[in-house]
């Protein structure tokens, strides 16, 4: 069984447990935990917040990472971003160009160690969010264009062994990334990853996943966890000590 359906009560209970978890038990306040920040742009930026919450919950449940499930939205120009090295930028439809200050702040954020997961919640290609986002990436990193993340990239083995990055959709099997040297500072999915993670207030998954159905949803969670692990551990799974075992599992 790949993924067992989770009862609504279980989710709510777990979330409550997380929120009430003693500060002593989980490090020194929030700084030690994984908390996704969300980029507030001028478009529809907040359509998948429940998906991020669910991903954080899965990260907590499946790995040793400690999380705070509620994402923290910040304007792209906010200096507070620098307390949250993981930034999610999603959107449904086009959004206006970022201001100069926002571009500058985001560039500095990504240059000095921040990581951004961008997600086309509208599953667009060449229009909508995709068009606007690619425009902003060209402004951010004129010399570092988005390139496809090859299937042997460490992001596909940071925790789960994967070979593609499906979301609610499967428009493009692979992620795209902007690289600073060997580090991918920005990863982009056109498959609406967070759409596969989202739950409604009743605790049911918000969207159908196609074309793979529930198994694809599980893969979407896994790639989401792998991306978070990549942000946290970088190329740890490329260390020589891991290679024999990983190669063996790839066979």
Partner 1 sequence: MNSAPFNAWKLVSLSPLSPWALASLLALVGVGVALAVLGLRREPALQRRMVLWALRLGAGLAAAFFLLEPGIRNLQVARVKNRIAVLVDRSASMAFPAEPGGVSRSTQVAEYLDSVQMDLAALQDRFTIEYYGFDPELAPVTTELLRKQAPRGNKTDLLSALRSVKAGEQGSASKKLSGVLLFSDGADNVELSSGVAGKARSTLEELQVPVTTFLVGREGLKDLAVEQVKVDDFAFVRNSMVVEVEIRGRGFKGQTIPVVLRREGQTVASKSVTLKSDDDLQWLSFSVSPDQTGRFVYTVSVPIYPDEAVTENNSRSFALKVIRDRVRVLLVVGRPSWDERFLRALLRADANVDLVSFYILRTMSDEPQVRSDRELSLIPFPMDEIFDTKLDTFDVVIFQNFGYTDPQLSVSQYEKNLERYVYNGGGFAMIGGDHAFGEGRSNFPVLGQALPVEPAGRTASLDTFKPRLTPEGLRHPVTSFSQGASNSESAWTALPGIPGANITRVKPGATVLLDHPFQSVDGRNAPVLALWEYGRGRSLALTVDSSWYWAFAAHAGGSPSRHYDRFWGNALRWLVRDPDLTTLTVTADPPSVEPGRPVGVIVAARTPDYQPAVDAQVKVDLFSVKLQRPVGTQTGVTGADGVVRLEFPPPEPGAYKLFGSARKGDRGLGESEDAVAVRAVGPELSDASVRADILESIARFTGGRAHRISIGTFPEVPLLDPPVVEVGRSKDEPLWDRWYYLIILVALLGTEWLLRRRFGYI
Q: Which residues bind partner 1 (CB under 8 A)?
A: 1-4, 23-34, 61-66, 79-83, 85, 108-109, 112-114, 157-161, 183, 218, 229, 231-237, 239, 241-242, 245-246, 249
Report the residue number, 8 or 108, with the smaller CB distance to partner 1: 108
Q: What is the C-alpha to C-alpha distance for residues 17 and 9, in angstroms, rounded to an integer? A: 12
Report the residue number, 3 or 151, with the smaller CB distance to partner 1: 3
Q: Cis omega (within 30 of 0) on the bond before 211? A: yes
User: Min. distance of Cβ 83 from partner 1 in angstroms?
Assistant: 6
Q: What is the C-alpha to C-alpha distance for residues 93 and 121, in angstroms, rounded to an integer? A: 8
- Which of 251, 242, 199 is CA-nearest to residue 220? 199
Report the residue number, 12 or 127, with the smaller CB distance to partner 1: 12
User: Min. distance of Cβ 62 from partner 1 in angstroms?
Assistant: 5
Report the residue number, 85 or 91, with the smaller CB distance to partner 1: 85
233, two tokens = 């551990």
Task: Measure Cα distances from 12 to 6, 17, 19, 87, 185 in Å.
Answer: 10, 8, 10, 25, 33
Report the residue number, 9 or 23, with the smaller CB distance to partner 1: 23
Q: What is the C-alpha to C-alpha distance for residues 216 and 223, in angstroms, rounded to an integer? A: 10
Q: How many CB atoms lie within 10 A of CB 34?
A: 22
Report the residue number, 159 or 197, with the smaller CB distance to partner 1: 159
Q: What is the C-alpha to C-alpha distance for residues 77 and 105, in angstroms, rounded to an integer? A: 5
Cβ density class 85-109: b for 16+ within 10 Å, e for less: bbbbbbbbbbbeebeeebbebbeeb
Q: What is the C-alpha to C-alpha distance for residues 101 and 99, in angstroms, rounded to an integer? A: 5
Report the residue number, 47 or 68, with the smaller CB distance to partner 1: 68
Task: Give 64: exposed, middle or buried? Use CB within 10 Å, 0-12, 13-18, 19+.
Answer: exposed
């Amino acid at each position: 069984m790949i993924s067992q359906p989770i009862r609504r009560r279980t989710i709510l209970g777990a979330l409550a447990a997380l929120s009430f978890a003693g500060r002593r038990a989980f490090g020194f306040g929030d700084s030690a935990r994984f908390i996704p920040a969300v980029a507030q742009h001028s478009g529809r930026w907040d359509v998948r917040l429940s998906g991020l919450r669910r991903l954080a919950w899965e990260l907590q449940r499946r790995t040793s990472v400690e999380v705070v499930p509620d994402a923290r939205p910040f304007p792209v120009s906010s200096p507070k971003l620098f307390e949250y090295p993981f930034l999610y930028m999603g959107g449904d439809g086009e959004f206006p160009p970022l201001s100069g200050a926002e571009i500058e702040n985001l560039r500095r954020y990504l240059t000095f160690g921040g990581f951004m997961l961008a997600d086309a919640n509208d599953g667009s290609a060449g229009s909508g969010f995709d068009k606007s986002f690619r425009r902003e990436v060209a402004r951010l990193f004129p010399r570092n264009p988005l390139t496809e993340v090859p299937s042997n990239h460490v992001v596909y083995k940071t925790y789960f062994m994967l070979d593609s990055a499906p979301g609610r959709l499967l428009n493009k099997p692979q992620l795209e990334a902007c690289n600073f040297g060997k580090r991918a500072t920005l990863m982009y999915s056109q498959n609406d990853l967070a759409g596969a993670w989202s739950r409604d207030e009743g605790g049911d998954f918000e969207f159908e996943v196609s074309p793979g159905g529930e198994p694809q949803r599980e893969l979407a969670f896994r790639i989401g966890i792998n991306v978070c692990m990549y942000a946290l551990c970088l190329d740890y799974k490329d260390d020589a000590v891991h290679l024999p075992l990983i190669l063996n599992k790839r066979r």
